[in-house]
Structure 1
Amino acid sequence: MRRTFYFLLLGFGLAGGTTDTPAGALSLSEWQRELAAKPQGDGTRGGTLYAEHGCAGCHGPEGMADNRQWPVLARQRPLYLYKMLLDYQAERMAGPDAAIMASVVRELNRQDLADLAEWLGALPRPQAAEVPEPAILRGDRKRLIPPCSACHGAHGQGWDLQPALRGQNRDYLIRTLQRFKKGERSNDVNAGMSQFAAKLTDEEIRALAEYYGR
């Protein structure tokens, strides 16, 4: 029902405003158990759920958010999407946007989440801007910063628990990296992104967002 989305934007009523104190992140072994129990997703049903719950209002009809503050979901890894939906459902994320998402997914079951993830993961991959590689992409040994490819793949395609970065919205990438850097987001496995982002300068964050983003 599309009215669900508009109601949430007006008041965050079901979420109580914001999620200020998120639940703790799960460990890698805990996530492995969660993902091993994931139901097989039904992409056709997932597309129906996406439409019924008004997801296109923020993320676009094909998972390509026009508002650059919201994430592109198209072609993300289904396991990563499933993880994120579980994180929102368990209130492991903080902030007003997390409150919106927690309210949207609160009443969905594991099969619903798997179906949504399956549909989004099969959508066409977004295109990234063609810009030169920033030096920080390869990491910095002196500051113990690993290359981005170590977790997100040589082409930013992501892995099961790490998101695809290529073609993501630039403003969303900047905002997300800044949240990790400031300790405002902490749902990352083993605090990997938090440790990485804490060592980046604001200029390096912008450079990475320009390289991977659209």
Structure 2
Amino acid sequence: MGIQKPAWLEALYTQKFFAGCSYHEAAKKNEKNVCCLDCCISICPHCIPSHRFHRLLQVRRYVYHDVVRLEDLEKLIDCSNVQAYTINSAKVVFIKKRPQNRQFKGAGNYCTSCDRGLQEPFIHCSLGCKVDSVLKHCKDLSPYLRRCSTLTLGPDFFVPQDMADDETTNETPHSTIVDSDEPMMSWSSSSSGSEKHEHGLH
């Protein structure tokens, strides 16, 4: 038998995201929307300083399902043939399968695992469906896994104001936020050129 699901991948499936963080119950913006791949747990923005040197993957919501940016996921695992969707100018993929009754069997592609209708040339509707398909047919996930020692959160990641010095600062833990010339969301464009993250919180 080859490599089954790595612990971080299992955590991505099993951890509950967008629930309140029990460690920061009294804090605002305490939804757990980050997966720490090294600890294999879901965390909220207030937890990030404790995990700032770990690999962090932001989880987003799209039509009531958990998704991750394709660009981030591609650093961890081969996502070819998984259908991606565009939100806020970034491509995202669903984490878990989304079964759909194939009531009208027309022409076109269907997910290999759950029969959801897909656009050409995709054959998996989610990361979960691709992983299930690979394990079913190849029994080994290792050729699809990629070595990734660092993974940081994107420049659009929301940092609660009470964690920053004041409302105008863009200072954040420098190991988790990186600047970008092309911010994913328009409201972050005013701060995207800041270089203050070099002197972030420690």
With structure 1 as the length reference, what TM-score do the two structures score? 0.29
With structure 2 as the length reference, what TM-score do the two structures score? 0.30
Greater per-residue strand proportion: 2
Greater per-residue helix proportion: 1
Max Rg structure: 2
Q: Which has the higher contact order (CA 8 A, sep 6+)?
A: 1
